[in-house]
Structure 1
Amino acid sequence: MARILLAEDDAAMRQYLVRALEKSGYQVVSVDRGTAAIPHLEAGGFDLLLTDIVMPEMDGIELAQKAAAIAPDIRVMFITGFSAVSLRAGQAVPNSRVLSKPFHLRDLVLEVDRIFQGPSFGEL
């Protein structure tokens, strides 16, 4: 079972995403800010970092860059409501995916499924 670390500062959105991902068979650990994700990344065992981009204390792009240093094989997917910020995310973390808000939960789950069906997932 793939493990996902979710960093999302909006409590309602975070709960909504956790439920959808768990219902789809993923194990999810969620935090409310980027700085809270760091100890989880250091503990290891995550296959995907799913992070909002705009968050207090540490934005999702900085979090993804720190995640790459801590766990080089982790995959990254950003969620954001700001299109200009999504362009910056793609440049800062080139192998990441970006899903723009608003999105349907079905779309989120399909994107996460695609990440795990990629050719290199089984090789990690």
Structure 2
Amino acid sequence: MIRILLAEDDESMRTYLARALEKSGYDVVSVGTGMEAVPHIEADRFDLLLTDIVMPEMDGIELAQHAAQVAPDMRIMFITGFAAVTLKAGKAVPQAKVLSKPFHLRDLVLEVERMFDKESLSGLN
């Protein structure tokens, strides 16, 4: 089962996203800040870090850079409502996927599936 660490400071958004991902068959651990995510990254294994970019204490870019050092095989997807921040994220963590808010839950689940299902993607091309 694919394990996702979700870092999102908006509690209702965090609950909404976690519930949708769990219903789609993913194992989700959710936290409210980047600082809360750090011990999880260091102590456990996750396949994907799904993080908001703009968060207090430690933003999603800093969190992703830390994750890339500690767990280089973990994939990263940013979610953000700020277009300007998207460019910064792309430069800081070029291998990461960026999903801009607002998005439909179906789009989020589809993007996660794409990240882990390369065979079906190659069949579509």
TM above 0.5, yes or no, is yes
Distance 1:74 1:49 in 2: 7
Name the aligned partner's letter for residue 86 of structure 1: T
Shift of 1:118: 2.9
Q: Which has the larger radius of gyration?
A: 2
Q: Does 1:112 align with 2:112?
A: yes
Q: Distance in 2 between matches of 1:118 and 1:76?
A: 16
Counterpart-to-counterpart distance in 2, 1:118 and 1:87: 25
Alignment-derived partner of residue 91 in structure 1: 91
Long gaps (5+) in structure 2: 120-125
RMSD: 0.8
Q: How far 1:61 sits from its partner (Å)?
A: 0.2
Runs of 4+ in 1 over 2 A off after TM superposition: none
Give me the TM-score of the superposition, normalised by structure 2.
0.93
Distance 2:114 2:36 in 1: 27
Give 3-state SS (helix, strand or coil) of 1:94's partner.
coil
Q: 2:80 corresponds to which letter in structure 1?
A: T
> Which residue identity lines up with residue 58 of structure 1 in the other structure?
M
**Percent identity of paired positions between Structure 1 and Structure 2:** 74
Counterpart residue identity of residue 39, structure 1: P
Name stretches of at least 5 consecutive residues in structure 1 with no aligned partner: 120-124
Asked if structure 2 preserves the Cα contact closer than 8 Å seen for 1:60 and 1:78, the reply is yes
- In the alignment, is residue 62 of structure 1 matched against residue 42 of structure 2? no
* 1:43 Cα offset (Å): 1.0
